[in-house]
Chains A and B, each alone.
Chain A
Amino acid sequence: MKRNKRYLIILLFTILFVGFKSKWTFLLPHHFPTPHYNFKKEELTEHKIELGRVLFHDPILSKDRTISCASCHSPYNAFAHTDHALSHGINDSIGRRNAPALFNLAWQKSFMWDGAINHIEVQALAPITDRREMAETIENVPFKLNRSNKYRTLFYNAFQDSSVNGQHLLKALAQFQLSLISANSKYDKVKLGHEQFNAQEKNGYELFLKNCNMCHQEPLFSNYEFVNNGLAIDSTLNDFGKISITHKSSDSLKFKTPSLRNLSYTYPYMHDGRFTKLNQVLNHYTKGVNQSTTLALELKNGINLTANEKVDLIAFLLTLNDEEFIRNPKFQFPKNNL
C-alpha cells in the first residue's frame, strides 16, 4: 500500500513536470547557452507561430501590398536578401543597410545593425513604417487585417480575440521569428558527436578559435556586441552606426557583430553589403583594417593569416551552413493560409 502511494506521488510529479515544460522549450538546442528571451514569461504556441508566419509572408503589411517581410528576409537565404547590398522597399526604394539574416534571435539582446530596437516584439514596427521599406502606418495594419475573415480567425485561434490590435500583431510576428532556430549545421553535428571535421576543417576551426572567436563566439558565432571592425566610411552613405542612437562618441562606427552561421546563403557581407565574397572579408581583416579611435582592440594589428590558412578557415566556416534550416517547410510560404 505504502509503496503504491510512493509510486503514485512520483507519477504525479512526473506528469506535472512533463506537463509544465512547453513543447517549444524542448526545441532549444542543448549545446546553446540560455537564451536572452524569456520563454517562460511569453510561451511560444503553435497558433501564434503560424499566424506570425502568415503575416511574415503577406505583403498586406506594406502600404501598397507589394512588400512582405519575406521580400527581404527570404527563407532560402537564411532570411537575408542574397545579392542585394542594401535593402529594397516599396516603389523600388533602396534602404541604407543590408537586410540581416534572421535566426537564433532569442539569443540577441537588441536588434538592427545599430541596436536601435530593444525587444524582438517591437522590431517589426521599424520596417513596417520606414518609408523606404513598407511605408505603412502602424495604425493602418490592424485596420486592414480586421477586414479579413481569414485573419480574424487566425487571430482568434492565437489570442482568443478576433479583433486585431497592435500588440497581438507584433507578438505573433515575434513568435514566428523566435521559432527560427538554426542549429543543425555540420559544426553542430560535430559538437554533438554525430560527425567529424576533416583535416582541413579541423585546422580551420583552430584558426577560427585563435583569431575570430573573441567576437564571433561559438556556438552562436556572435556575442552580439557592437564593435568597430575597421571598415572605411562609405561617403555615399555616411553611416556611423550606433552613435546615431546613443549620441556617445565612443559608439562611433560601431555595428552589431553578425553571426557567421549560414554565411554561404547570406552574402553580401557587412552592414552595407560591401563584400560579396568570403575572401574579400578575410582580406579586409588581414590587410584592410582602417585605424580609428573606436577600432576593436583585437584588430589594432590586423589578423595574420597565410593564403593556405585562409583556405582552411573558409573550409571550417562552410561547416556553419545549415541546410535543414533553410529548407525547413515550417518556415516557408504558408500555402494553406495565403
Chain B
Amino acid sequence: MKILNLIQQCHLELKIILKFELYSFFIIRFLACLLNILVLLKSSFKRNTFKLITTKHLLLLLSLLSNVGFSQNSAINFAFHFGNSPLVLDKKYAFKNDSISITKFRFYISDIEFLNNETITYRLKKKHHLIDISNKTSIQIEATNNFKFNQIHFNIGIDSITNVSGAMGEDLDPTKGMYWAWQSGYINLKLEGKCNTCKTRNNEFQLHIGGYQSPFNTLQKLKINVKENKPLAIIVDVKAFLQEFTLENNCTIMSPSAQSVNLANYFKKLISLNEEK
C-alpha cells in the first residue's frame, strides 16, 4: 500500500514538473521519491520488516492485556436522556406542566484531556468532535496509549482560533449544519423541538447557541472528576439543561448575544457520568 501511494505521489510530481516548469526543485523531490521506493522495496525483500511488524503487534497486544481496566473499552460513550428516560427524537415528554419533544440535538466537544492528580496524562489528537443524537456517538481513544487518569477536561464548543481559521473539514465542515452562514462562527450547540409554551410558528423552539468573541463568548470549559482509569459513560440530559431557564422567553436564539451567553452557562448541566458502569 505504502509503495503504491509513493508511486502515485511521484507520478503527480512529474505532472507538476511538466506544468509549472520549475524543473530543478521538483526533479530533486522526484529523485528523493524514487529513492524512498527503492529503500522500501529493499527492506521488504529482506523480510526484516515482517519480523518488526509482528514484534510490534505482540507488544501492542501485551500492553492491551496488561491494562484491562481502560484499554478494553477504550472509548467515551454518550447516552442521551430526558430526565430519567432515554431521549428519543420526536417523542413527547412531560416538562413543567406541559409536553415537549426534541427534533434535533447536536453539539461540539473539543480539546479533551485526561488528567491524573492535576497533571495531563493524555490529550486526544482529534481536537473537535460533533456529538449528534441522530448518529450513534462515541469517541475512540487509540488503544496503544496506556495512561492513568482520575479527571477529564473538555470544552463544549469551538475555540476562537478555529472560529477564525477559514473553511475546516470533517466534523467542522460547514455542511454539518453547525456553522452560521451570514455571520462567521460555529454554532456550539443546536437544540430544536416543539413545546406549547413557545408562541412561535408550530410552537417550535430553535436554540442555536454560539459566539466566540467577547462579550458573547459561549465556549464552556468542563472539569469532571471520574473513577480511576475506568471507561467513560457520559449521560447527556436535555431536561437538566432546559430546567435551568424559562423556555418561553428563549424560544428562538440564533445569533451570538447576551441571551446565548446566558444559556451557554447551563451547558454544564447537560453532562453527568453514568456511575453504574
Contact = CB atoms under 8 A, between A and B. Distances in A.
Interface in B1-49: 12, 19-20, 22, 24-26, 28
Interface string A91-119: 00000000000000000000000001111
Given A116-B183, A129-B182, A15 B166 contact: no
B163 interface: yes
Contact of A165 (B12, B163, B173, B179): B173
Contacts of B173: 165-167
Given A15-B28, A125-B174, A166 B185 contact: no
B84 interface: no
Interface in B156-188: 163-169, 173-177, 179, 181-185
B257 interface: yes
A157 B175 CA distance: 22
B182 A166 contact: no
Contacts of A121: 166-167
A138 B164 contact: no
Interface residues of B, number: 28
Given A23-B20, A128-B181, A129-B182, A166 B174 contact: yes
Contacts of A174: 166-167
A118 B185 contact: yes
Interface string A12-23: 000110111001
Contact of B175 (A18, A20, A142): A142
Interface string A114-148: 00111111100110111000000011011000000
Given A119-B164, A167-B169, A167-B173, A125 B24 contact: no
A245 interface: yes
B167 A171 contact: yes
A117 B19 contact: no
A3 interface: no
Given A165-B175, A166-B167, A118 B184 contact: yes
Contact of B174 (A23, A42, A130, A138): A138
A247 interface: yes
Nearest to B15: A157
A146 to B, nearest CB: 11
Contacts of A166: 167, 173-176
Interface string A275-308: 0000000000000000000000000000000000
A145 B67 CA distance: 48
A15 B168 CA distance: 33
A139 B184 contact: no
- Which of A16, A119, A125, A165 counts the most chain B CB atoms within 10 A? A125
A119 B185 CA distance: 10
A324 interface: no
A125 B181 contact: yes
A18 B21 CA distance: 11
12 contacts: A15-B24, A16-B25, A42-B166, A46-B20, A118-B164, A119-B166, A119-B184, A120-B166, A121-B167, A166-B174, A167-B169, A168-B169
Closest 7 CB pairs of A and B: A19-B25, A121-B166, A166-B175, A170-B167, A125-B181, A121-B167, A118-B184
Interface of A: 15-16, 18-20, 23, 42, 46, 116-122, 125-126, 128-130, 138-139, 141-142, 160, 165-168, 170-171, 174, 245, 247
Given A23-B22, A119-B164, 10 more contacts: A15-B24, A118-B164, A122-B184, A125-B181, A129-B181, A129-B182, A130-B182, A141-B175, A166-B176, A167-B168
